[in-house]
């Protein structure tokens, strides 16, 4: 009997470790939305059972029509929250989740997401009544379209107002102020919402390549060949990724994955910039003790220093594997393109 104790304990430990690893597994969260507003999720990934919140901000003259979520198998994930506040949430299942949000004009039918109408218009969430907030088992459905035509046109004789900073979280004293204002004016970013840029949030690889693409003037990809299985034609960043791939700005994380929702690293940001600008270097080394010139980001870091795009975290530390924030990314792009 004693001889069995050790094997049984060993098996028990393996089972516990397996359960712990499974419990700690994170799943992807993606967002699909129509025109008419902005949807911001607090996370790109979450563990099963975790509460995930997302905010919905309608453009002027538009309203939230419907919000729904589904798991990897297409099953419904219950969305709850207050439609009026625009703050919604759901419990993360043990799979990836896709959020879909439809907006509509104040008067008129809802916009579509790649031709797809919201459940409220297709009959799968049948209700002719106003639903003030989401409840268990229902999607978030707005009131039926009011009678009358679309939003009245804006008068053409209204004088243009002076530019105003739209973001409450970007102040003139911030190091990224000029960069964010330049990016906003030039259509490189619209912010996470109409009034929030969220400069200290981690920047995803999809956001990085989209910012770069817009800074280059939104060039049309010359090929429709998509090398990445995790990038779909329906994604907002589809064209930016194709453009970046065909121009050698990115080769992906693997041969067939781009990993759009991964957080971009400082080394990746300067590398994308270096390749987009066809950079070259004079120095064969840097003062940074954590930069190996033989790695992919070696020359790009040296180039970024020469071009005064960055000075590093300290005089001897660059932090190539550190996460990069939205404020940092836009500042790097601003220094590379605007000066």
With beta carbons less than 8 A apart as the criterion, state whether 275 and 248 touch: yes
With beta carbons less than 8 A apart as the criterion, state whether 183 and 334 touch: yes
Alpha carbon 92 to its chain's center: 18
Alpha carbon 74 to its chain's center: 22
pLDDT at 35: 78
Q: Which residue has the higher pLDDT, 24 or 120?
A: 24
pLDDT at 159: 52
Threshold 0.85, pTM exceeds: no
Q: Which of 59-63, 113-117, 177-181 has the lowest mean pLDDT?
A: 59-63
Length of the chain: 339
Q: Which residues contact 183 (CB under 8 A, 6 or more apart)?
A: 189, 211, 330, 333, 334
**Closest to 90 in 3D by CA, of 140, 55, 142, 54:** 54
Q: Which residues contact 191 (CB under 8 A, 6 or more apart)?
A: 38, 166, 167, 184, 197, 198
pLDDT digits (tens, 9 = 90+) for 163-184: 789 999 999 999 999 999 999 9
- 136 pLDDT exceeds 50? no
pLDDT at 138: 30
- 71 pLDDT exceeds 90? yes
Domain limits, the chain: 27-141, 177-337
Mean pLDDT of 115-142: 40
Q: Which of 55-69, 130-144, 216-230 has the lowest mean pLDDT?
A: 130-144
Kindly indicate the confidence band of residue 38, based on its pLDDT and cuts at 50, 70 and 90: confident
pLDDT digits (tens, 9 = 90+) for 93-102: 999 999 998 8
pLDDT at 26: 87
CATH of 27-141, one of 1.10.10, 2.60.40, 2.60.120, 2.30.30: 2.60.40
* Average pLDDT taken over every residue of the chain: 79
pLDDT at 190: 87
- 157 pLDDT exceeds 70? no
């Amino acid at each position: 009997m004693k001889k069995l104790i050790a094997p049984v304990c060993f098996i028990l430990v393996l089972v516990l470790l397996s359960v712990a690893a499974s419990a700690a597994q994170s799943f992807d969260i993606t967002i699909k939305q129509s025109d008419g507003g902005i949807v911001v999720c607090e996370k790109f990934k979450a563990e099963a059972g975790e509460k995930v919140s997302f905010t919905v901000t309608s453009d002027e003259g538009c309203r939230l029509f419907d919000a729904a979520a589904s798991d990897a198998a297409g099953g419904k994930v219950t969305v709850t929250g207050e439609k009026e506040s625009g703050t919604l949430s759901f419990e993360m299942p043990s799979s990836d989740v896709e959020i879909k949000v439809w907006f509509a004009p104040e008067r008129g039918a809802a916009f579509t997401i790649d031709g797809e109408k919201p459940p409220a218009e297709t009959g799968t969430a049948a209700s002719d009544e106003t639903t003030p907030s989401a409840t268990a088992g229902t999607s978030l459905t707005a009131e039926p379209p009011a009678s009358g035509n679309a939003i009245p046109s804006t008068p053409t004789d209204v004088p243009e107002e002076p530019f105003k900073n739209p973001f409450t979280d970007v102040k003139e004293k911030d190091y990224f102020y000029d960069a964010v204002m330049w990016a906003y004016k030039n259509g490189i970013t619209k912010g996470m919402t109409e009034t929030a840029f969220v400069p200290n949030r981690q920047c995803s690889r999809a956001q990085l390549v989209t910012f770069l693409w817009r800074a280059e003037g939104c060039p049309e990809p010359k090929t429709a060949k998509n090398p990445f299985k995790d990038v779909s034609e329906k994604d907002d960043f589809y064209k930016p990724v194709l453009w970046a791939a065909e121009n050698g700005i990115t080769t992906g994380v693997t041969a067939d994955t781009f990993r759009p929702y991964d957080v971009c690293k400082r080394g990746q940001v300067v590398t994308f910039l270096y390749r987009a600008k066809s950079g070259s270097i004079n120095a064969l080394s840097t003062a940074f003790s954590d930069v190996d010139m033989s790695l992919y980001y070696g020359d790009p870091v040296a180039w970024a220093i020469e071009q005064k795009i960055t000075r590093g975290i300290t005089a001897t530390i660059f932090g190539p594997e550190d996460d990069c924030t939205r404020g940092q990314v836009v500042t790097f792009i601003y220094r590379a393109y605007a000066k």
